[in-house]
């Protein structure tokens, strides 16, 4: 009964989405206030319906109702409760429902907090949200119904893919979707502005908090996904340039560009048309990502059950939305007025450079990801484009971009002073140079690449700190005054500095692990020891262990530091899930400072030993800590007075604001 | 400079940059993309020595030999031809006989394929797409229905 209610609520939500897509739009076109006002309540009710539908599916999972095909395929009565709940979206149907839940959630936010948006803009935004919602609800109802019943109901379920039975599933997909789908609001605002034929700095002030919120969630989702893959797959890598990863990374790159260009538009009312285009492109890349993940057209380490009919459906959605919005853009963009002018050396100039590099980087990732499809279609050859391609092209694009990042916040709007900025960055540059020398002279096995990479990372970190120090005047005025100024700085200044600092930390982590990582693949018998980067690892032996829905062989290792200092035990296991007949590797990871020791167990050898893979990963945790700092930066910026989520009140002089 | 000249300079610079980036991308695609082969395809293909390729197929029954330490040898087959592969490292969890795998590496002069990575998919019903397509074309394997 609950399940049928959920299904019915989904159908109702689809009907509501159709109303939301049309009535407010017609109202906005003919200036009918009552028709425009329909959008808000319908969007909120639609969200309530999807929430009800999602709750029904969750209840079916919690109760292990195997008469529902989706629950039978992806759950098991012995599965721990957390994984029963997260299992709701650990499969295609449920995750699409989560996608729509988040979409309607954002639509409801616009409806609830968009009270001071111009009525026609609000109506159009909600209508566009309605189109996206209707398309995906139809997709779920037509090809991926999560509520389909099975008769007779099986006695026991087939269990969730063991790889997904992890806390990562509770965090990674919802965060990622909040990011992906958050950009739909920017997209809707862009399309609504095109329909309206009007765009001004106030538009950017409404769009920026959404971009920021979506970007923050996407950053967190990607970082979490990277860490999850790192510890769960047992390969010890943090990024594989896998098509599915690229699918989430492309919207991130475009979204980062959008974040910066919206800033220019808000403050200087320049780059209007470009910002609009970026808003469309960012969400288009999110849609493309959904297509790549869901259709299985590309070989990926992520195994999703795929179905060609679904791929065709999403491809149709993709074509209509991307094609339609770009056509609308081509048709209407010329009617929008161009904005303010600026010198090439200025804050605007720096942000344009940022946009140029980020969008080009996103384009190279896009080309690399889709090239195998293209070649197969043209010549029938099967090729793979992997890490070597992306490291070369993406890496080469990122180095100059990272090198100019600290200059951006130092330059004034409209007309900047480059020598002055360089002078103010002297300390940061000196620090970076020092880092290069220290790495070259004192770190064993460091290459020139490692030294330069560390220098670049410190340049970013120190540059970000310099920005705060100068803006608060810490070096030039009395401490009490400086403290007052520091507290009084706009939150968005801290946001910028923290985001750039986090980027520097991530770069430092990547450089550390790429250039200084050591790997040992050895056969160990109980009692044997291994020396790793000054630590001694002793293998104690293997013990069997029984979990709720798996059995495992736990390899126990004792770690000691220099002079025999005990550092505790590391357990690395090979787990076996009998329902799916599937083994998994549970890596043993010990965090030592910022670095990690990573142990994966292999097969037993004929002579009574076991193959063990031991990595020393210097500074690896910085990769994700940097992501966390970037998230904190996003949240800090969101708390800025000027940028409340929803729509800030109109200012006395729209388009101008002091910084 | 007039406003128009300035704009032209900026646009020219941006286009130059994009041109460079495009050239780099296609150079890298030519250099770094690796081709996928099944054992039977290798006869027609003329591979330059040392060329990195991806070799896919099924792990042939009864061919897995564990050597000294971490060395493993096995054959990859498409039920028509098979190729001997040696690999030094940790095999993926789902590596077993009759499982679809993709290996990446180069050929030794004696015709043995030296793999530096072995990929088996993290789903027991999943077959790598390239392998599945080729095997289906040969009629060796059918998509199992869930």
Q: What is the per-residue pLDDT across A507-534, written as a single tens digit (0 to 9) for each?
A: 999 999 999 999 888 889 999 999 998 8
- List the single residue in B with minimal CA-CA distance to A580: B124
CB A368 within 8 A of CB A429: no
Asked if B24 is an interface residue toward chain A (Cβ–Cβ < 8 A), one would say: yes
B13 and B83 in a single domain? The answer is no
Confidence at residue A37, expressed as pLDDT on a 0 to 100 scale:
92
- List the single residue in A with minimal CA-CA distance to B19: A360
Residue from A505, A221, A236, A237 nearest A387 by CA: A237
A111 and A180 in a single domain? The answer is no
Q: What is the ipTM of this complex?
A: 0.79
Confidence at residue A656, expressed as pLDDT on a 0 to 100 scale:
40
A156 and A174 in a single domain? The answer is no
Percentage of chain A lying above the pLDDT 90 cut: 59
Cα dist from A138 to A10, A143, A316, A391, whole Å: 10, 8, 12, 39
* A138 vs A291 pLDDT, higher one: A138
Q: Read off the tokens for A417.
A: 């002073």
Confidence at residue A647, expressed as pLDDT on a 0 to 100 scale:
44
- Any bridge partners for residue B50, and if so which? none
Q: B110 CA to chain A: closest CA distance, Å?
A: 25
* A463 vs A490 pLDDT, higher one: A463
Number of domains in chain B: 2
A96 and A195 in a single domain? The answer is no
Residue A328 domain flag: no
CB B103 within 8 A of CB B117: yes
Confidence at residue A83, expressed as pLDDT on a 0 to 100 scale:
94
A219 and A277 in a single domain? The answer is yes
Residue A73 domain flag: yes
B65 and B86 in a single domain? The answer is yes
B43 and B12 in a single domain? The answer is no
A214 and A291 in a single domain? The answer is yes
pTM comes to 0.91
Residue pointed to by tokens 């904005």: A339
Asked if B96 is an interface residue toward chain A (Cβ–Cβ < 8 A), one would say: no
A264 and A175 in a single domain? The answer is yes
Spatial distance between the Cα atoms of A452 and A449, rounded to a whole number of angstroms: 5
Contact B34 A580 (CB under 8 A): no
Lowest pLDDT segment from A28-37, A363-372, A650-659, B95-104 = A650-659
Q: Is A220 helix (H, G, I), strand (E, B) or coil?
A: helix
CATH of the domain at B46: 2.40.50.140
B75 and B132 in a single domain? The answer is yes
Spatial distance between the Cα atoms of B32 and B52, rounded to a whole number of angstroms: 9
B10 and B60 in a single domain? The answer is no
Q: Which of A346, A352, A355, A393 to mutate to test the interface with B (most CBs of B within 10 A)?
A: A393
Does the structure show a pLDDT above 70 at A394? yes
- List the single residue in B with minimal CA-CA distance to A356: B14
Domain that residue A289 falls in:
166-322+347-404
B48 and B90 in a single domain? The answer is yes
Asked if B34 is an interface residue toward chain A (Cβ–Cβ < 8 A), one would say: yes
Confidence at residue B145, expressed as pLDDT on a 0 to 100 scale:
35
A49 and A108 in a single domain? The answer is yes
A257 and A144 in a single domain? The answer is no
Helix ranges (H only) for A198-271 are: 201-232, 243-268
Q: A494 CA to chain B: closest CA distance, Å?
A: 31
A42 and A184 in a single domain? The answer is no
Q: To the nearest 10°, the Cα dihedral for A363, A369, A375, A378?
A: -70
Residue from B85, B141, B23, B24 nearest A395 by CA: B24
Residue A172 domain flag: yes
B100 and B134 in a single domain? The answer is yes
Burial of A191 (0-12, 13-18, 19+ CB in 10 A): buried
B20 and B81 in a single domain? The answer is no
A70 and A40 in a single domain? The answer is yes
User: Which residues have a Cβ under 8 Å from the Cβ of A277 and sit 6 or more positions away?
Assistant: A329, A333
| Strand B53-59 versus strand B100-107 pairing type | antiparallel
* A309 vs A315 pLDDT, higher one: A315
A174 and A133 in a single domain? The answer is no
CB A301 within 8 A of CB B122: yes
A113 and A203 in a single domain? The answer is no
Domain that residue B119 falls in:
35-138
Contact A574 B91 (CB under 8 A): no
Per-residue pLDDT band at A645 (split at 50, 70, 90): very low
Q: Which of A90, A360, A370 to mutate to test the interface with B (most CBs of B within 10 A)?
A: A360
Confidence at residue A653, expressed as pLDDT on a 0 to 100 scale:
43
Q: Which pLDDT tens digit goes with each residue over A325-375?
A: 999 998 888 777 666 677 778 888 899 999 999 999 999 999 999 998 888
Chain B hits for A383, CB-CB cut-off 8 Å, are 33-36
Residue from A635, A632, A637, A593 nearest A616 by CA: A593
Number of domains in chain A: 3
Residue B79 domain flag: yes
Per-residue pLDDT band at A504 (split at 50, 70, 90): very high
Asked if B129 is an interface residue toward chain A (Cβ–Cβ < 8 A), one would say: yes
Per-10-residue mean pLDDT for chain B, 146 residues long?
75 87 88 83 78 86 79 86 87 79 87 86 54 64 44
């Amino acid at each position: 009964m609950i399940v049928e209610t959920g299904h019915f609520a989904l159908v109702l939500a689809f009907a509501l989405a159709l109303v939301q897509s049309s009535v407010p739009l017609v109202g906005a076109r003919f200036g009918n206030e009552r028709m425009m006002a329909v959008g808000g309540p319908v969007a909120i009710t639609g969200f309530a319906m999807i929430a009800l539908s999602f709750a029904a599916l969750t209840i079916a999972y919690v109760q292990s109702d195997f008469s529902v095909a989706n629950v039978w395929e992806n759950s098991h009565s012995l599965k721990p409760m957390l994984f029963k709940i997260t299992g709701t979206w650990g499969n295609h149907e449920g995750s699409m429902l989560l996608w729509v839940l988040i979409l309607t959630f954002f639509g409801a936010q616009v409806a609830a907090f968009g009270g001071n948006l111009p009525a026609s803009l609000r109506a159009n935004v909600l209508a566009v949200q309605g189109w996206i919602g209707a398309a995906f609800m139809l997709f779920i109802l037509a090809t991926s119904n999560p509520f389909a019943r099975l008769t007779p109901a099986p006695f026991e379920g087939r269990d969730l893919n063991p790889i997904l039975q992890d806390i990562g599933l509770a965090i990674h997909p919802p965060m990622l979707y909040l990011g992906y789908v958050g950009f739909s609001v920017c997209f809707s605002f862009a399309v609504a502005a095109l329909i309206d034929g009007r765009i001004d700095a106030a538009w950017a002030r409404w769009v920026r908090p959404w971009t920021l919120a979506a970007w923050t969630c996407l950053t967190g989702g990607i970082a979490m996904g990277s860490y999850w893959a790192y510890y769960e797959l047992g390969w010890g890598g943090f990024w594989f340039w896998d098509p599915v990863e690229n699918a989430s990374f492309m919207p991130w790159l475009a979204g980062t560009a959008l974040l910066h260009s919206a800033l220019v538009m808000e403050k200087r009312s320049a780059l209007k048309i470009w910002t609009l285009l970026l808003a469309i492109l960012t969400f288009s890349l999110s849609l493309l990502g959904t297509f790549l993940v869901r259709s299985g057209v590309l070989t990926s380490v992520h195994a999703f059950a795929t179905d060609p009919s679904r791929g065709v459906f999403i491809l149709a959605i993709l074509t209509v939305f991307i094609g339609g919005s770009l056509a609308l853009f081509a048709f209407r963009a010329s009617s929008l007025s161009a904005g303010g002018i600026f010198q090439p050396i200025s804050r605007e100039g720096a942000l344009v450079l940022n946009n140029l590099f980020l969008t080009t980087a996103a384009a190279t990732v896009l080309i690399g990801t889709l090239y195998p499809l293209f070649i197969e279609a043209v010549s029938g050859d099967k090729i793979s484009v992997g890490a070597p391609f992306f490291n070369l092209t993406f890496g080469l694009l990122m180095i100059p971009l990272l090198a100019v990042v600290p200059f951006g916040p130092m330059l004034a709007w409209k007309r900047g002073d480059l020598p002055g900025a360089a002078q103010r960055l002297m300390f940061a540059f000196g620090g970076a140079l020092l880092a290069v020398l220290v790495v070259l002279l004192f770190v064993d096995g460091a290459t020139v690449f490692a030294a330069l990479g560390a220098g670049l990372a410190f340049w970013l970190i120190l540059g970000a700190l310099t920005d705060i120090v100068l803006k608060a005047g810490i070096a030039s005025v009395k401490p009490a005054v400086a403290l007052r100024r520091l507290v009084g700085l706009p939150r968005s200044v801290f946001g910028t500095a923290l985001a750039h600092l986090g980027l520097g930390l991530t770069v430092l982590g990547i450089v550390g692990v790429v250039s200084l990582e050591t790997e040992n693949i050895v056969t160990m018998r109980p009692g044997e020891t291994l020396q790793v980067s000054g630590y001694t690892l002793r293998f104690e032996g293997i013990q069997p262990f029984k979990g709720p829905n798996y059995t495992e062989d736990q390899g126990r290792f004792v770690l000691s530091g220099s002079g025999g200092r005990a550092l505790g035990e590391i357990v690395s296991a090979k787990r076996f899930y009998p329902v799916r007949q599937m083994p998994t590797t549970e890596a043993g990871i010990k965090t030592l400072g910022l670095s990690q020791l990573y142990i994966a167990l292999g097969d037993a050898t004929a002579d009574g030993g076991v193959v063990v893979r031991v990595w020393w990963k210097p500074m690896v945790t910085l990769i994700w800590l940097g992501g966390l700092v970037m998230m904190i930066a996003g949240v800090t910026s969101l708390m800025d007075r000027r940028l409340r989520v929803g729509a800030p009140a109109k200012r006395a002089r729209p388009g101008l604001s002091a910084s | 400079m007039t406003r128009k000249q300035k704009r032209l300079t900026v646009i020219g610079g941006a286009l130059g940059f994009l041109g460079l980036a495009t050239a780099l991308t296609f150079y890298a695609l030519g250099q770094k993309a690796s081709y996928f082969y099944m054992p039977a395809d290798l006869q027609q293909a003329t591979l330059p020595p040392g060329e990195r390729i991806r070799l896919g197929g099924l792990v042939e029954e009864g061919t897995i030999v564990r050597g000294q330490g971490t060395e493993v040898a096995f054959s990859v087959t498409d039920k028509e031809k098979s190729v001997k592969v040696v690999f030094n490292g940790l095999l993926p969890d789902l590596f077993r006989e009759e499982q679809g795998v993709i290996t990446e590496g180069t050929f030794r002069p004696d015709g043995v394929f030296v793999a530096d990575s072995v990929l088996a998919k993290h789903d027991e019903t999943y077959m790598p797409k390239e392998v599945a397509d080729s095997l289906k074309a040969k009629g060796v394997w059918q998509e199992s229905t869930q």
